[in-house]
Structure 1
Amino acid sequence: MRLATVSHADRTTAAVLIDDVWRALPATDLSAFLAAQGVARAAGLAGAALDGAVPVLPLPAPAKVICCGLNYADHIRETGRELPSFPTLFAKYADTLTGPADDVVLPPGLQVDWEAELAVVVGATLRHADPDTARAGIAGYTVANDISVRDWQYRTLQWFQGKAWDGSCPVGPVVVTPDEIDPAAGLDVVCRVNGEEVQRDSTRTLVFDSAQLLAYISTFTVLRPGDLVLTGTPGGVGTAREPQRFLADGDVVETAIAGIGALRNTVRLKG
Protein backbone atom coordinates (compact mmCIF):
# COMPACT_ATOMS: atom_id res chain seq x y z
CA MET A 1 0.00 0.00 0.00
CA ARG A 2 1.18 3.52 -0.84
CA LEU A 3 0.27 6.47 1.35
CA ALA A 4 0.98 10.17 0.89
CA THR A 5 0.06 13.70 1.64
CA VAL A 6 -1.15 15.16 -1.65
CA SER A 7 -1.94 18.61 -2.93
CA HIS A 8 -5.36 18.78 -4.55
CA ALA A 9 -7.66 21.72 -5.29
CA ASP A 10 -5.43 24.18 -3.39
CA ARG A 11 -5.38 22.13 -0.21
CA THR A 12 -3.63 19.07 1.18
CA THR A 13 -5.08 15.78 2.29
CA ALA A 14 -3.82 12.38 3.36
CA ALA A 15 -4.34 9.85 0.58
CA VAL A 16 -3.99 6.19 -0.30
CA LEU A 17 -3.21 4.88 -3.80
CA ILE A 18 -5.79 2.31 -4.96
CA ASP A 19 -5.70 0.99 -8.54
CA ASP A 20 -3.35 3.84 -9.52
CA VAL A 21 -5.80 6.47 -8.23
CA TRP A 22 -5.19 8.64 -5.17
CA ARG A 23 -8.17 8.50 -2.80
CA ALA A 24 -8.72 10.86 0.09
CA LEU A 25 -8.25 9.83 3.70
CA PRO A 26 -9.96 11.69 6.57
CA ALA A 27 -7.06 13.96 7.59
CA THR A 28 -5.33 17.03 6.22
CA ASP A 29 -2.01 15.19 5.99
CA LEU A 30 -0.41 11.82 6.66
CA SER A 31 1.05 12.94 10.02
CA ALA A 32 -2.46 13.62 11.31
CA PHE A 33 -3.86 10.43 9.80
CA LEU A 34 -1.26 8.14 11.37
CA ALA A 35 -1.70 9.79 14.76
CA ALA A 36 -5.48 9.44 14.68
CA GLN A 37 -6.18 6.29 12.65
CA GLY A 38 -3.10 4.18 12.02
CA VAL A 39 -1.95 2.64 8.79
CA ALA A 40 -4.05 -0.54 9.08
CA ARG A 41 -7.30 1.37 8.56
CA ALA A 42 -6.18 3.28 5.47
CA ALA A 43 -7.74 1.14 2.74
CA GLY A 44 -11.08 0.91 4.56
CA LEU A 45 -11.28 4.67 5.01
CA ALA A 46 -10.47 5.60 1.41
CA GLY A 47 -12.86 8.19 0.03
CA ALA A 48 -13.26 10.16 -3.17
CA ALA A 49 -10.83 9.96 -6.05
CA LEU A 50 -8.44 12.91 -6.26
CA ASP A 51 -7.82 13.60 -9.93
CA GLY A 52 -4.58 15.49 -10.49
CA ALA A 53 -3.32 14.98 -6.94
CA VAL A 54 0.41 15.64 -6.47
CA PRO A 55 2.40 14.12 -3.58
CA VAL A 56 4.03 16.71 -1.31
CA LEU A 57 5.95 16.34 1.97
CA PRO A 58 4.26 13.20 3.37
CA LEU A 59 4.95 13.84 7.07
CA PRO A 60 4.86 17.58 7.76
CA ALA A 61 4.52 17.29 11.55
CA PRO A 62 6.49 14.41 13.07
CA ALA A 63 7.01 14.84 16.81
CA LYS A 64 10.48 13.32 16.45
CA VAL A 65 12.95 13.08 13.59
CA ILE A 66 15.89 10.91 14.63
CA CYS A 67 18.78 10.11 12.32
CA CYS A 68 21.48 7.47 12.30
CA GLY A 69 24.91 8.37 11.00
CA LEU A 70 27.62 5.94 9.91
CA ASN A 71 25.37 2.98 9.18
CA TYR A 72 26.73 1.64 5.86
CA ALA A 73 30.06 -0.17 6.07
CA ASP A 74 31.57 1.58 3.00
CA HIS A 75 30.61 5.03 4.30
CA ILE A 76 32.12 4.23 7.69
CA ARG A 77 35.36 3.14 6.03
CA GLU A 78 35.57 6.29 3.87
CA THR A 79 35.45 8.37 7.06
CA GLY A 80 38.31 6.34 8.57
CA ARG A 81 36.26 4.91 11.43
CA GLU A 82 35.72 1.41 12.82
CA LEU A 83 32.35 -0.33 12.57
CA PRO A 84 30.29 0.87 15.53
CA SER A 85 28.96 -1.22 18.40
CA PHE A 86 26.01 1.16 18.85
CA PRO A 87 24.14 3.50 16.48
CA THR A 88 25.42 7.06 16.10
CA LEU A 89 22.29 9.17 16.54
CA PHE A 90 21.33 12.82 16.17
CA ALA A 91 18.02 14.66 15.89
CA LYS A 92 16.38 17.09 13.52
CA TYR A 93 13.32 19.29 13.80
CA ALA A 94 10.25 19.04 11.60
CA ASP A 95 11.26 22.43 10.16
CA THR A 96 14.20 20.68 8.51
CA LEU A 97 11.92 18.66 6.23
CA THR A 98 10.82 19.68 2.77
CA GLY A 99 8.91 18.07 -0.08
CA PRO A 100 9.95 15.64 -2.82
CA ALA A 101 10.11 18.30 -5.55
CA ASP A 102 10.81 21.42 -3.47
CA ASP A 103 13.89 23.60 -3.87
CA VAL A 104 16.46 23.32 -1.10
CA VAL A 105 17.21 26.96 -0.29
CA LEU A 106 20.32 27.78 1.73
CA PRO A 107 22.63 30.81 2.02
CA PRO A 108 25.57 31.08 -0.39
CA GLY A 109 29.09 30.18 0.63
CA LEU A 110 28.25 26.94 2.49
CA GLN A 111 29.71 23.47 1.96
CA VAL A 112 26.48 21.66 1.06
CA ASP A 113 26.62 17.88 0.66
CA TRP A 114 24.23 15.08 -0.35
CA GLU A 115 23.22 12.03 1.74
CA ALA A 116 20.68 9.64 0.21
CA GLU A 117 18.80 7.67 2.88
CA LEU A 118 16.03 5.20 3.59
CA ALA A 119 13.63 6.65 6.17
CA VAL A 120 11.41 4.58 8.46
CA VAL A 121 7.94 5.82 9.43
CA VAL A 122 6.78 4.75 12.89
CA GLY A 123 3.26 3.33 13.00
CA ALA A 124 2.78 2.38 16.67
CA THR A 125 3.76 3.66 20.09
CA LEU A 126 7.10 2.02 20.93
CA ARG A 127 8.77 2.10 24.35
CA HIS A 128 11.38 -0.44 25.47
CA ALA A 129 10.54 -2.43 22.32
CA ASP A 130 12.45 -5.53 21.25
CA PRO A 131 13.33 -5.81 17.53
CA ASP A 132 10.30 -7.98 16.73
CA THR A 133 7.92 -5.51 18.39
CA ALA A 134 9.68 -2.62 16.66
CA ARG A 135 9.39 -4.35 13.28
CA ALA A 136 5.66 -4.84 13.80
CA GLY A 137 5.39 -1.13 14.66
CA ILE A 138 6.72 0.12 11.31
CA ALA A 139 4.10 1.95 9.26
CA GLY A 140 6.26 2.07 6.17
CA TYR A 141 9.30 3.42 4.39
CA THR A 142 10.07 6.54 2.40
CA VAL A 143 13.00 8.32 0.72
CA ALA A 144 15.05 11.09 2.32
CA ASN A 145 18.18 13.10 1.60
CA ASP A 146 19.92 14.37 4.72
CA ILE A 147 21.50 17.31 2.89
CA SER A 148 24.22 18.53 5.24
CA VAL A 149 26.14 21.77 5.72
CA ARG A 150 29.60 20.32 6.29
CA ASP A 151 31.49 23.45 7.36
CA TRP A 152 28.94 23.95 10.15
CA GLN A 153 28.74 20.23 10.94
CA TYR A 154 32.46 20.02 11.66
CA ARG A 155 32.79 23.24 13.66
CA THR A 156 32.47 21.10 16.79
CA LEU A 157 32.31 17.40 17.69
CA GLN A 158 28.50 17.65 17.70
CA TRP A 159 26.89 17.39 14.24
CA PHE A 160 23.56 19.06 15.04
CA GLN A 161 24.34 22.53 13.69
CA GLY A 162 25.20 21.14 10.26
CA LYS A 163 22.18 18.87 10.09
CA ALA A 164 19.22 21.02 11.14
CA TRP A 165 19.02 23.84 8.60
CA ASP A 166 15.40 24.67 7.81
CA GLY A 167 14.06 23.13 4.60
CA SER A 168 17.23 21.14 3.93
CA CYS A 169 15.97 17.54 4.12
CA PRO A 170 13.70 16.38 1.26
CA VAL A 171 11.36 13.49 2.10
CA GLY A 172 8.85 11.51 0.05
CA PRO A 173 7.21 11.15 -2.34
CA VAL A 174 5.21 8.33 -0.74
CA VAL A 175 5.23 5.99 2.24
CA VAL A 176 5.22 2.32 1.23
CA THR A 177 3.97 -0.22 3.76
CA PRO A 178 6.11 -3.22 4.86
CA ASP A 179 3.89 -5.75 3.10
CA GLU A 180 5.21 -4.39 -0.22
CA ILE A 181 8.94 -3.92 0.44
CA ASP A 182 11.58 -5.35 2.80
CA PRO A 183 14.78 -3.33 3.26
CA ALA A 184 16.48 -6.34 4.87
CA ALA A 185 16.17 -8.15 1.52
CA GLY A 186 17.96 -5.26 -0.18
CA LEU A 187 16.69 -2.05 -1.76
CA ASP A 188 19.00 -0.02 -3.97
CA VAL A 189 19.62 3.49 -2.62
CA VAL A 190 20.87 5.87 -5.34
CA CYS A 191 21.80 9.56 -5.46
CA ARG A 192 22.51 11.52 -8.63
CA VAL A 193 23.73 15.10 -8.99
CA ASN A 194 22.90 16.68 -12.35
CA GLY A 195 22.37 13.16 -13.70
CA GLU A 196 25.73 11.81 -12.47
CA GLU A 197 25.49 8.89 -10.07
CA VAL A 198 27.36 9.73 -6.86
CA GLN A 199 25.96 7.12 -4.44
CA ARG A 200 24.66 3.57 -4.80
CA ASP A 201 24.32 0.84 -2.19
CA SER A 202 21.81 -1.67 -0.89
CA THR A 203 19.90 -1.48 2.38
CA ARG A 204 20.96 -5.09 2.84
CA THR A 205 24.37 -3.77 3.96
CA LEU A 206 23.08 -1.54 6.79
CA VAL A 207 24.95 -2.18 10.04
CA PHE A 208 21.77 -1.56 12.08
CA ASP A 209 18.52 -2.35 10.29
CA SER A 210 15.22 -0.53 10.73
CA ALA A 211 13.88 -2.71 13.54
CA GLN A 212 17.17 -2.59 15.45
CA LEU A 213 17.22 1.21 15.23
CA LEU A 214 13.63 1.63 16.41
CA ALA A 215 14.16 -0.82 19.27
CA TYR A 216 17.37 0.93 20.37
CA ILE A 217 15.84 4.42 20.20
CA SER A 218 12.73 3.31 22.07
CA THR A 219 14.93 2.37 25.03
CA PHE A 220 15.55 6.04 25.85
CA THR A 221 12.63 7.88 24.23
CA VAL A 222 9.12 6.90 23.22
CA LEU A 223 8.36 6.71 19.51
CA ARG A 224 4.84 7.45 18.29
CA PRO A 225 2.93 7.07 15.03
CA GLY A 226 4.23 9.49 12.41
CA ASP A 227 7.73 9.83 13.88
CA LEU A 228 10.53 9.52 11.33
CA VAL A 229 13.85 7.67 11.63
CA LEU A 230 16.52 8.14 8.95
CA THR A 231 18.78 5.10 8.65
CA GLY A 232 22.05 6.60 7.36
CA THR A 233 23.74 7.21 4.01
CA PRO A 234 25.98 5.05 1.79
CA GLY A 235 29.49 5.95 0.72
CA GLY A 236 30.10 8.52 -1.97
CA VAL A 237 29.40 11.77 -0.11
CA GLY A 238 31.13 14.87 -1.39
CA THR A 239 33.13 15.68 1.73
CA ALA A 240 34.96 12.31 1.56
CA ARG A 241 36.07 12.76 -2.06
CA GLU A 242 39.52 13.78 -3.29
CA PRO A 243 39.18 16.62 -4.02
CA GLN A 244 36.12 17.41 -1.96
CA ARG A 245 32.97 18.24 -3.90
CA PHE A 246 29.99 20.25 -2.73
CA LEU A 247 26.66 21.26 -4.22
CA ALA A 248 26.44 24.51 -6.19
CA ASP A 249 23.55 26.83 -6.92
CA GLY A 250 21.27 25.21 -9.50
CA ASP A 251 22.46 21.65 -8.95
CA VAL A 252 19.70 19.05 -9.22
CA VAL A 253 19.82 16.25 -6.64
CA GLU A 254 17.85 13.09 -7.41
CA THR A 255 17.41 10.51 -4.65
CA ALA A 256 15.82 7.16 -5.47
CA ILE A 257 15.06 3.94 -3.61
CA ALA A 258 13.81 0.89 -5.46
CA GLY A 259 10.21 0.09 -4.68
CA ILE A 260 9.46 3.51 -3.18
CA GLY A 261 10.17 6.30 -5.66
CA ALA A 262 12.36 9.32 -6.15
CA LEU A 263 12.97 12.86 -4.97
CA ARG A 264 14.09 15.59 -7.36
CA ASN A 265 15.28 18.78 -5.68
CA THR A 266 17.11 21.83 -7.00
CA VAL A 267 19.65 23.50 -4.73
CA ARG A 268 19.29 27.27 -4.48
CA LEU A 269 22.11 29.10 -2.71
CA LYS A 270 21.06 32.69 -2.24
CA GLY A 271 21.02 35.37 0.40
Structure 2
Amino acid sequence: MSYGCIVDQAVCDLGRRTGLPDLASHIADRFPTLGWEADLAPDYSLSAIRYLPVIPDPRKVLCVATNYREPGDDGAARPEYPLVFSRFGISQTGHEEPLPKPEVSEKFDYEGELAVIIGKTGRRIAEAEAMTYVAGYSCFNDGSVRDWQKHSSQFTPGKNFARTAGFGPWMVTSDELPDPGALDLVTRVNGETRQRNNTSRMIFPIAWLISYFSQFTVLEPGDVIVTGTPSGFGSSRQPPEFLKIGDTVEIEIERVGTLRNVVADESQNQDNFR
Protein backbone atom coordinates (compact mmCIF):
# COMPACT_ATOMS: atom_id res chain seq x y z
CA MET A 1 0.00 0.00 0.00
CA SER A 2 1.08 3.54 -0.67
CA TYR A 3 -0.33 7.00 -1.30
CA GLY A 4 0.05 9.44 -4.15
CA CYS A 5 -1.22 12.48 -6.02
CA ILE A 6 -3.05 12.93 -9.29
CA VAL A 7 -0.87 14.28 -12.12
CA ASP A 8 -2.35 14.55 -15.63
CA GLN A 9 -5.03 11.94 -14.88
CA ALA A 10 -2.40 9.52 -13.57
CA VAL A 11 -0.89 8.84 -10.14
CA CYS A 12 2.48 9.77 -8.71
CA ASP A 13 3.62 7.43 -5.92
CA LEU A 14 4.51 9.82 -3.10
CA GLY A 15 5.18 7.06 -0.61
CA ARG A 16 8.03 5.71 -2.74
CA ARG A 17 9.51 9.16 -3.27
CA THR A 18 9.33 10.50 0.28
CA GLY A 19 9.62 7.38 2.43
CA LEU A 20 6.75 8.65 4.56
CA PRO A 21 4.26 5.89 5.43
CA ASP A 22 0.91 7.54 4.67
CA LEU A 23 -0.87 10.73 3.65
CA ALA A 24 -1.33 11.92 7.24
CA SER A 25 2.44 11.74 7.76
CA HIS A 26 3.01 13.49 4.45
CA ILE A 27 0.63 16.30 5.46
CA ALA A 28 2.38 16.69 8.83
CA ASP A 29 5.80 16.82 7.16
CA ARG A 30 4.96 19.09 4.21
CA PHE A 31 2.14 21.38 5.39
CA PRO A 32 1.74 24.21 4.36
CA THR A 33 3.75 23.55 1.16
CA LEU A 34 1.29 20.99 -0.22
CA GLY A 35 0.98 21.42 -3.96
CA TRP A 36 4.61 20.94 -5.02
CA GLU A 37 3.74 17.31 -5.82
CA ALA A 38 2.01 18.37 -9.06
CA ASP A 39 5.42 18.82 -10.68
CA LEU A 40 6.36 15.14 -10.30
CA ALA A 41 6.12 12.56 -13.07
CA PRO A 42 3.27 10.05 -12.78
CA ASP A 43 3.86 6.36 -12.05
CA TYR A 44 0.49 4.64 -12.59
CA SER A 45 -2.71 5.14 -14.52
CA LEU A 46 -5.86 5.69 -12.47
CA SER A 47 -7.22 2.40 -13.81
CA ALA A 48 -4.25 0.53 -12.30
CA ILE A 49 -4.88 1.43 -8.67
CA ARG A 50 -7.32 0.61 -5.89
CA TYR A 51 -8.36 3.40 -3.58
CA LEU A 52 -7.89 3.45 0.17
CA PRO A 53 -9.84 5.90 2.30
CA VAL A 54 -8.14 9.29 1.95
CA ILE A 55 -6.84 8.99 5.52
CA PRO A 56 -6.91 5.22 6.16
CA ASP A 57 -6.19 5.30 9.91
CA PRO A 58 -6.99 8.76 11.29
CA ARG A 59 -6.52 9.44 14.98
CA LYS A 60 -9.88 11.20 15.02
CA VAL A 61 -12.94 11.32 12.78
CA LEU A 62 -15.25 13.97 14.25
CA CYS A 63 -18.73 14.14 12.74
CA VAL A 64 -21.68 16.51 12.82
CA ALA A 65 -25.30 15.44 12.38
CA THR A 66 -27.44 17.07 9.64
CA ASN A 67 -26.11 20.73 9.59
CA TYR A 68 -27.87 22.20 6.52
CA ARG A 69 -30.67 24.71 6.25
CA GLU A 70 -33.31 23.51 3.84
CA PRO A 71 -35.53 25.67 1.59
CA GLY A 72 -38.06 27.54 3.71
CA ASP A 73 -36.19 27.39 7.02
CA ASP A 74 -33.82 30.32 6.57
CA GLY A 75 -35.53 32.17 9.40
CA ALA A 76 -35.21 29.30 11.87
CA ALA A 77 -33.08 29.94 14.93
CA ARG A 78 -29.70 28.21 14.92
CA PRO A 79 -29.26 25.66 17.70
CA GLU A 80 -26.63 26.65 20.21
CA TYR A 81 -24.41 23.64 19.49
CA PRO A 82 -24.24 20.87 16.87
CA LEU A 83 -24.92 17.21 17.58
CA VAL A 84 -21.47 15.59 17.51
CA PHE A 85 -20.30 11.97 17.30
CA SER A 86 -17.17 10.11 16.21
CA ARG A 87 -16.26 7.28 13.87
CA PHE A 88 -13.43 4.74 14.02
CA GLY A 89 -10.95 4.46 11.14
CA ILE A 90 -12.00 0.85 10.47
CA SER A 91 -15.52 2.08 9.60
CA GLN A 92 -14.17 3.72 6.40
CA THR A 93 -13.60 2.39 2.90
CA GLY A 94 -12.21 3.86 -0.31
CA HIS A 95 -13.67 5.06 -3.59
CA GLU A 96 -14.99 2.24 -5.80
CA GLU A 97 -14.70 -0.25 -2.94
CA PRO A 98 -17.78 -2.21 -1.76
CA LEU A 99 -19.99 -0.86 1.03
CA PRO A 100 -20.93 -3.99 3.01
CA LYS A 101 -24.57 -3.94 4.06
CA PRO A 102 -24.69 -5.24 7.66
CA GLU A 103 -26.47 -8.58 7.93
CA VAL A 104 -28.02 -7.55 11.26
CA SER A 105 -30.01 -4.64 9.79
CA GLU A 106 -32.35 -3.67 6.97
CA LYS A 107 -31.88 0.05 7.66
CA PHE A 108 -28.55 0.84 6.01
CA ASP A 109 -28.58 4.53 5.02
CA TYR A 110 -26.46 7.06 3.10
CA GLU A 111 -25.42 10.62 3.99
CA GLY A 112 -23.46 12.77 1.53
CA GLU A 113 -21.03 15.11 3.29
CA LEU A 114 -17.97 17.30 2.83
CA ALA A 115 -14.92 16.07 4.77
CA VAL A 116 -12.23 18.47 6.01
CA ILE A 117 -8.70 17.15 6.58
CA ILE A 118 -6.62 18.97 9.19
CA GLY A 119 -3.10 20.01 8.23
CA LYS A 120 -1.36 21.09 11.43
CA THR A 121 -1.70 20.73 15.18
CA GLY A 122 -4.00 23.20 16.91
CA ARG A 123 -5.64 23.77 20.26
CA ARG A 124 -8.31 26.39 21.04
CA ILE A 125 -8.12 27.77 17.53
CA ALA A 126 -9.78 31.12 16.88
CA GLU A 127 -12.53 30.94 14.28
CA ALA A 128 -10.81 33.70 12.30
CA GLU A 129 -7.68 31.53 12.00
CA ALA A 130 -9.37 28.17 11.57
CA MET A 131 -9.12 27.82 7.80
CA THR A 132 -5.32 28.11 7.95
CA TYR A 133 -5.36 24.69 9.65
CA VAL A 134 -7.00 22.92 6.68
CA ALA A 135 -4.93 20.64 4.44
CA GLY A 136 -7.79 19.84 2.07
CA TYR A 137 -11.24 18.45 1.35
CA SER A 138 -12.88 15.25 0.20
CA CYS A 139 -16.27 13.54 -0.15
CA PHE A 140 -17.66 11.37 2.62
CA ASN A 141 -20.62 8.99 2.75
CA ASP A 142 -21.51 8.78 6.44
CA GLY A 143 -23.09 5.34 6.03
CA SER A 144 -25.48 4.79 8.95
CA VAL A 145 -27.17 1.69 10.33
CA ARG A 146 -30.27 3.45 11.60
CA ASP A 147 -31.77 0.87 13.97
CA TRP A 148 -28.41 0.42 15.72
CA GLN A 149 -27.94 4.19 15.77
CA LYS A 150 -31.27 4.49 17.62
CA HIS A 151 -30.55 1.83 20.25
CA SER A 152 -29.84 4.71 22.62
CA SER A 153 -29.12 8.44 22.52
CA GLN A 154 -25.52 7.63 21.59
CA PHE A 155 -24.84 7.20 17.86
CA THR A 156 -21.65 5.11 18.14
CA PRO A 157 -22.97 1.64 17.18
CA GLY A 158 -24.87 2.75 14.09
CA LYS A 159 -21.97 4.81 12.79
CA ASN A 160 -19.16 2.29 13.12
CA PHE A 161 -19.98 -0.91 11.28
CA ALA A 162 -16.86 -2.01 9.39
CA ARG A 163 -16.27 -0.32 5.99
CA THR A 164 -19.71 1.32 5.88
CA ALA A 165 -18.44 4.88 5.23
CA GLY A 166 -17.03 5.81 1.84
CA PHE A 167 -14.20 8.39 1.97
CA GLY A 168 -12.69 9.72 -1.25
CA PRO A 169 -11.89 9.61 -4.04
CA TRP A 170 -9.02 11.94 -3.08
CA MET A 171 -8.11 15.06 -1.15
CA VAL A 172 -8.24 18.40 -2.96
CA THR A 173 -5.69 20.64 -1.25
CA SER A 174 -6.81 23.91 0.25
CA ASP A 175 -4.69 25.97 -2.15
CA GLU A 176 -6.80 24.57 -4.99
CA LEU A 177 -10.05 25.21 -3.13
CA PRO A 178 -9.53 28.37 -1.08
CA ASP A 179 -13.27 28.92 -0.52
CA PRO A 180 -15.22 25.75 0.33
CA GLY A 181 -18.22 27.79 1.44
CA ALA A 182 -20.24 27.70 -1.79
CA LEU A 183 -20.02 24.16 -3.20
CA ASP A 184 -22.94 22.18 -4.59
CA LEU A 185 -23.36 18.78 -2.93
CA VAL A 186 -25.43 16.03 -4.57
CA THR A 187 -26.09 12.43 -3.49
CA ARG A 188 -27.41 9.93 -6.03
CA VAL A 189 -28.61 6.37 -5.53
CA ASN A 190 -28.73 4.35 -8.76
CA GLY A 191 -28.57 7.64 -10.66
CA GLU A 192 -31.53 9.22 -8.83
CA THR A 193 -30.80 12.44 -6.97
CA ARG A 194 -31.66 11.97 -3.29
CA GLN A 195 -29.85 14.91 -1.68
CA ARG A 196 -28.97 18.33 -3.05
CA ASN A 197 -27.75 21.43 -1.22
CA ASN A 198 -24.86 23.88 -1.09
CA THR A 199 -22.18 24.30 1.58
CA SER A 200 -23.17 27.97 1.87
CA ARG A 201 -26.25 26.70 3.72
CA MET A 202 -24.39 24.98 6.53
CA ILE A 203 -25.82 25.86 9.94
CA PHE A 204 -22.39 25.57 11.57
CA PRO A 205 -19.76 26.55 8.96
CA ILE A 206 -16.38 24.86 8.60
CA ALA A 207 -14.36 27.52 10.47
CA TRP A 208 -16.82 27.44 13.38
CA LEU A 209 -16.60 23.64 13.58
CA ILE A 210 -12.79 23.63 13.57
CA SER A 211 -12.72 26.21 16.34
CA TYR A 212 -15.37 24.36 18.35
CA PHE A 213 -13.72 20.94 18.12
CA SER A 214 -10.34 22.42 19.03
CA GLN A 215 -11.76 23.70 22.33
CA PHE A 216 -12.08 20.16 23.71
CA THR A 217 -9.45 18.19 21.78
CA VAL A 218 -6.11 18.78 20.10
CA LEU A 219 -6.56 18.72 16.33
CA GLU A 220 -3.67 16.95 14.58
CA PRO A 221 -2.52 16.45 10.98
CA GLY A 222 -4.75 13.88 9.28
CA ASP A 223 -7.69 14.33 11.62
CA VAL A 224 -10.99 14.39 9.72
CA ILE A 225 -14.01 16.61 10.36
CA VAL A 226 -17.16 15.37 8.60
CA THR A 227 -19.36 18.44 8.32
CA GLY A 228 -22.93 17.11 8.23
CA THR A 229 -25.53 16.19 5.63
CA PRO A 230 -28.59 17.77 3.99
CA SER A 231 -32.06 16.25 4.15
CA GLY A 232 -32.99 13.52 1.69
CA PHE A 233 -31.13 10.63 3.33
CA GLY A 234 -33.13 7.42 3.35
CA SER A 235 -34.69 7.57 6.81
CA SER A 236 -35.91 11.14 6.19
CA ARG A 237 -37.91 10.19 3.09
CA GLN A 238 -41.61 9.30 3.02
CA PRO A 239 -41.72 6.37 2.98
CA PRO A 240 -38.15 5.63 4.13
CA GLU A 241 -35.81 4.26 1.43
CA PHE A 242 -32.86 2.27 2.68
CA LEU A 243 -29.98 0.82 0.70
CA LYS A 244 -30.12 -2.64 -0.87
CA ILE A 245 -27.38 -4.94 -2.10
CA GLY A 246 -26.37 -3.82 -5.58
CA ASP A 247 -27.30 -0.15 -5.13
CA THR A 248 -24.74 2.40 -6.37
CA VAL A 249 -24.23 5.44 -4.15
CA GLU A 250 -22.51 8.54 -5.52
CA ILE A 251 -21.55 11.63 -3.53
CA GLU A 252 -20.59 14.50 -5.83
CA ILE A 253 -19.20 17.77 -4.50
CA GLU A 254 -18.41 20.63 -6.83
CA ARG A 255 -14.66 21.08 -7.45
CA VAL A 256 -13.86 18.12 -5.19
CA GLY A 257 -14.96 15.02 -7.12
CA THR A 258 -17.36 12.09 -7.06
CA LEU A 259 -17.17 9.28 -4.51
CA ARG A 260 -18.76 6.07 -5.77
CA ASN A 261 -19.47 2.80 -3.93
CA VAL A 262 -21.70 -0.20 -4.59
CA VAL A 263 -23.59 -1.79 -1.70
CA ALA A 264 -22.41 -5.36 -1.22
CA ASP A 265 -23.37 -8.49 0.70
CA GLU A 266 -21.45 -8.34 3.99
CA SER A 267 -21.09 -12.14 4.14
CA GLN A 268 -19.26 -12.14 0.78
CA ASN A 269 -16.90 -9.29 1.65
CA GLN A 270 -15.13 -10.56 4.75
CA ASP A 271 -11.71 -9.80 3.23
CA ASN A 272 -12.52 -6.09 3.48
CA PHE A 273 -12.55 -6.36 7.29
CA ARG A 274 -8.92 -7.44 7.63
TM-score normalized by structure 2? 0.86
Give, in whole Å, the separation in 2 of the partners of 1:173 and 1:62.
16
Aligned pairs (5 A) from 1:99-118: 99-108=94-103, 109-118=105-114
2:53 match: 57
Asked if residue 119 in structure 1 is aligned to residue 118 in structure 2, the reply is: no
Check conservation: 1:73, 1:83, Cα contact below 8 A: no
2:270 match: none
Unpaired runs of at least 5, structure 2: 268-274
SS in 1 for 2:217: coil
**1:52 partner letter:** S
SS in 2 for 1:71: coil
Check conservation: 2:61, 2:223, Cα contact below 8 A: yes
Per the alignment, do residues 270 and 166 of structure 1 end up closer, same or farther by CA in structure 2, a change over 3 Å counting? closer
TM-score normalized by structure 1? 0.87
2:272 match: none
**1:257 partner letter:** I
Give, in whole Å, the separation in 1 of the partners of 2:38 and 2:184.
32
Cα offsets for 1:139-179 (capped at 9, x unmatched): 01100000100011111111111111111110111111222
Give, in whole Å, the separation in 1 of the partners of 2:208 and 2:77.
19
| RMSD over aligned Cα atoms | 2.2
**Percentage of identical aligned residues:** 37
Give, in whole Å, the separation in 1 of the partners of 2:132 and 2:119.
9
Which residue among 30, 43, 65 is the counterpart of 1:37?
A: 30
Check conservation: 2:114, 2:137, Cα contact below 8 A: yes
1:9 match: none
Per-residue deviation, 1:39? 4.7
SS in 2 for 1:40: coil
**2:143 partner letter:** I
SS in 1 for 2:64: strand
1:6 match: none
How many pairs align?
Answer: 256
Cα offsets for 1:97-137 (capped at 9, x unmatched): 11011101133343011100000000011100001221101
2:88 match: 93
Per-residue deviation, 1:15? 2.0
Asked if residue 167 in structure 1 is aligned to residue 156 in structure 2, the reply is: no
Check conservation: 1:98, 1:167, Cα contact below 8 A: yes
Unpaired runs of at least 5, structure 1: 1-11
Give, in whole Å, the separation in 1 of the partners of 2:239 and 2:42.
51
Per-residue deviation, 1:20? 4.2
SS in 2 for 1:218: helix
Give, in whole Å, the separation in 2 of the partners of 1:39 and 1:176.
14
1:4 match: none
Give, in whole Å, the separation in 1 of the partners of 2:236 and 2:7.
42
Check conservation: 2:27, 2:34, Cα contact below 8 A: no
Q: Please, which moves more after superposition, 22-31 or 229-238? A: 22-31
Check conservation: 1:248, 1:269, Cα contact below 8 A: no
Q: Please, which moves more after superposition, 190-199 or 101-110? A: 101-110
Aligned pairs (5 A) from 1:8-27: 12-25=1-14, 26=18, 27=20
Give, in whole Å, the separation in 1 of the partners of 2:266 and 2:220.
36
Asked if residue 176 in structure 1 is aligned to residue 172 in structure 2, the reply is: yes
| Runs of 4+, deviation exceeding 6 Å | none
1:139 match: 135
